Structure 1
Amino acid sequence: MAQFLIVTDDVNDWRPYLPSDNMVTVHDYLEMGAFSDKSAMQVINLCRSYDYLSTGYYCSLMAEARGHRVIPRVMTINDLSQDRFFSLPQVGLDKLSDTLNEITMKLYFGYCDNPSLDKLARKIFERFTVPVLQVRLLKMAGKWQVDAIEPAAFQDLTEPEQDLFAKYLEVFSQKVWRLPKPSKRYRYEIAMLVDEHEKMPPSDKAALKLFTKSANRIGMDLVQISSHDLARLSEFDGLFIRSTTNISNFTYRFAKAAEQLGLVVMDDPESIMKCTNKVFLTELLNKHKVPVPKSLIFKASDKNWAENVISTIGLPIVLKVPDGAFSLGVVKVNDRETLLEQAAIIFEHSALILAQAFMPTDYDWRIGVLNRQPIYACRYFMSRGHWQIYQHHQSGRVSSGDFDCIDLKMVPQNIVDAAVKASNLIGAGLYGVDLKEIDGKAYVIEVNDNPSIDHGVEDLFLGDLVYDRVMTEFLRRIQLRGM
């Protein structure tokens, strides 16, 4: 667990607060070589000014050069001076009095003293991770907008504000750096992001335990975190996302924040962006001549789009929502009337639709790829009486077909080659490539950045070796980062 350090301009800055051995002046911190031997250190930069080339700016810059994790980061400081387009979430603002047209508030480590603005404060802190922020909101045309976000000097806080600062510093530091020591010490710690309420998570509880055991065997600890723990990321060396990813949900925010902190991340934000949008993925695969089902991307304004889709693809046709997952947002249409009906529904949510040829098979291949190498192979059979692996019933129940997991050496080489080629276009992370095999030819259906790894399914052939390979890759990347 990392040690934390509070950096201020002057020792007198800390006079209103309890004495702390964790406080140093910025003069001492900036000494050449100071604290450079302590790589596992968290720094709270409380300098009065973060202006470009000020001592406060250099404090964050030096911290990053030493491998310390610091708030605010230099990138955040630069964003505060340049980012004028912060989209304000309206969470909680509708509960404010209709007579209000302006709000000025201070945020202390993402907390404020107004319960109705707690969620908003947390969102702002996730975007601008600064110890104390002064925020001004204006109500314009019935909608609240950010007028100003800027750092506030903790040295200028009033006595009531000092109480709030001390209170939330304690909350923040306890949450991030003063967790109980584990019974066994590990050299590295990885956060494993999960969603306990998710109905179809990428890994079941048994698999999560096996990932943890594998990490422990090679000297790492795997700590489960949830969507509310973004502020804890700086205590870890890596982030392993085991919750279904999407650009619009918390998983992308976590991946982006972890990447900015310098953590080893799976799935990295670029992979999430590329894989979760089927339109982007289809365009990418076509450009690089990776075999895919006959496809067409169309929009509502296209002239005679229905006739063009039918003549190009042929019936039946599969329509896909760009960011659908687990067969959600995927419909099969057998005639022109159904095509018009289903497309109209999808156009309510997406400007583009992906149409693909319907290619019926008894099963789909899934090739797991890690760091550009195949690591497992599964076959997923279609749900009984259905044309997809997953069948979503109106009752909310989800059923699926059978599966088997086999030796990669027994998989047709063209299936493996197509999977590796497709995943290499995305990156060097952990991917699951879905393919169909028709008349001896391989067709890539999609590349998943967050592939399912369940106990008794994807590990059925290799057993613990699947988990060992993933955790060993984390260890390799963490060690390379520290060289």
Structure 2
Amino acid sequence: MNVAVVMGGYSDESVISIRSGQLILSNLDRSKYTPFEVHILPDGWHVLADGAKYEVNKADFSFEKDGNKVTFDVAVNTIHGTPGEDGQLQAYWSLIGLPYTGCGFYQSALTFNKRDTLSVLNKFGIPKAKSIYLTQGDAITAEDIVTTLGLPFMVKPNQSGSSLGISKVNSIEEFDKALDFAFAEDSDILIESFLKGMEVSVGVLNYNGKTTILGITEIVSHNDFFDYEAKYQGKSDEITPARLDSETEQKVRDISIKAYEALGMSGFTRSEFIIVDGEPHFIEMNTNPGLSPASIFPQQAAVAGIAMSDLFDNEIQLALSRKVLLKK
């Protein structure tokens, strides 16, 4: 079975995505699958094979090698950010009839938009921070924000990952710089009240046909919050399993499954919560979580005693089963 392991993307997260792709390539069962390294980058779509680079035919996501056309049976999507985490590639693959891992294009687009995700989950009674939504050019002052949310507060791009463009604002004087930082990533931003409590990251997936918690990881950032440095440059402690009492742990498990199923998820996800006074508050959901060796999801798999090869096999079989259902 020919498997396209798709990595890269058009955002600053492409470097992280390529690291994730390498982990997938090294963990696919070669007795079942023939994996191909596929890069989708601003300079083009290419397959890297035998030291050469082959252009992808976008009409059917195939490529030619030695005069032969090579097609794929399934795409394993590990692009963080656009176009692999915002629904664009998923919609394209759906149109050409290629099975792919992860959730569908609607769920991808929805969860990539922080505001819309929070709006949907609000209907299910899932706690969250107070927030204000801004589009570039809207007139607002720091005093307006403080009146509504108090200090400190968080400023985030509405559509971005890996904590890119996020700032914690501790004083009014820091507001303009935080706005510029966020608007550099997206023309829409979300400003949220600061939640003081334990941050946890919860791996959730459909495993063997059942919504399953892979693990709960406690995040202890060495910085003011879990920013890019903390995530990828060792400026945090990630403790799995999280140091939670049984009652709070059950609340985290219940609310994580509720969010996953309420959003119609499939495949790997990693949801972030901050626990305030024993109550988990939803922050965001990542539908293509990082899979580099230092990432949280593989750490949780190791603690759970599940081989990454088994997780990828489950993902591929799930993708193929959805294709069968479409044919019916």
**TM-score, length-scaled by structure 2:** 0.74
The answer as to whether partners of 1:434 and 1:446 remain within 8 angstroms in 2 is yes
Q: CA deviation at 1:347?
A: 4.5
The answer as to whether partners of 2:142 and 2:172 remain within 8 angstroms in 1 is yes
Q: Which residue of 1 aligns with 2:37?
A: 224
Structure 2 vs 1, CA of residues 363 and 389 (structure 1 numbering), >3 Å: closer, same or farther? farther
Q: Which residue of 2 aligns with 1:200?
A: 16
Instruction: Kindly report which structure 2 residues correspond to 1:396-475, keeping only aligned pairs within 5 A, or say none.
Output: 398-406=233-241, 412-430=249-267, 431-455=269-293, 457-461=299-303, 462-464=305-307, 465-475=310-320
SS of the residue 1:254 aligns to: helix
Unaligned runs of 5+ in 1: 1-185
Q: CA deviation at 1:319?
A: 0.4
SS of the residue 2:8 aligns to: coil
Higher strand share: 2
The answer as to whether partners of 1:390 and 1:401 remain within 8 angstroms in 2 is no
How many residue pairs get aligned? The number is: 288
Distance in 1 (CA, whole Å) between partners of 2:85 and 2:129 is 32
Unaligned runs of 5+ in 2: 47-55, 63-70
Structure 2 vs 1, CA of residues 341 and 351 (structure 1 numbering), >3 Å: closer, same or farther? same
Instruction: Kindly report which structure 2 residues correspond to 1:248-287, keeping only aligned pairs within 5 A, or say none.
Output: 253-267=88-102, 268-287=104-123
The answer as to whether partners of 1:316 and 1:332 remain within 8 angstroms in 2 is yes
Q: Which residue of 1 aligns with 2:67?
A: none
SS of the residue 1:233 aligns to: coil
SS of the residue 2:300 aligns to: coil
Structure 2 vs 1, CA of residues 348 and 412 (structure 1 numbering), >3 Å: closer, same or farther? closer
Structure 2 vs 1, CA of residues 441 and 364 (structure 1 numbering), >3 Å: closer, same or farther? same
Structure 2 vs 1, CA of residues 193 and 398 (structure 1 numbering), >3 Å: closer, same or farther? same
Give the letter for the 2:38 counterpart: I
Structure showing greater radius of gyration is 1
SS of the residue 1:200 aligns to: helix
**TM-score, length-scaled by structure 1:** 0.52
Q: Is residue 2:137 matched to residue 1:309? A: no
SS of the residue 1:246 aligns to: coil
Q: CA deviation at 1:471?
A: 3.2
The RMSD of aligned alpha carbons is 3.4
Q: CA deviation at 1:384?
A: 2.0
Distance in 1 (CA, whole Å) between partners of 2:138 and 2:79 is 36
SS of the residue 1:360 aligns to: coil
The answer as to whether partners of 1:369 and 1:433 remain within 8 angstroms in 2 is no
Give the letter for the 1:255 counterpart: Q
Q: CA deviation at 1:367?
A: 2.7
Same amino acid, percent of matched pairs: 19
- Relative CO higher for 1 or 2, CA cutoff 8 Å, sep ≥ 6? 2
Distance in 1 (CA, whole Å) between partners of 2:254 and 2:130 is 20
Q: Which residue of 2 aligns with 1:233?
A: 61
Instruction: Kindly report which structure 2 residues correspond to 1:379-398, keeping only aligned pairs within 5 A, or say none.
Output: 379-388=217-226, 390-391=228-229, 398=233
SS of the residue 1:457 aligns to: helix
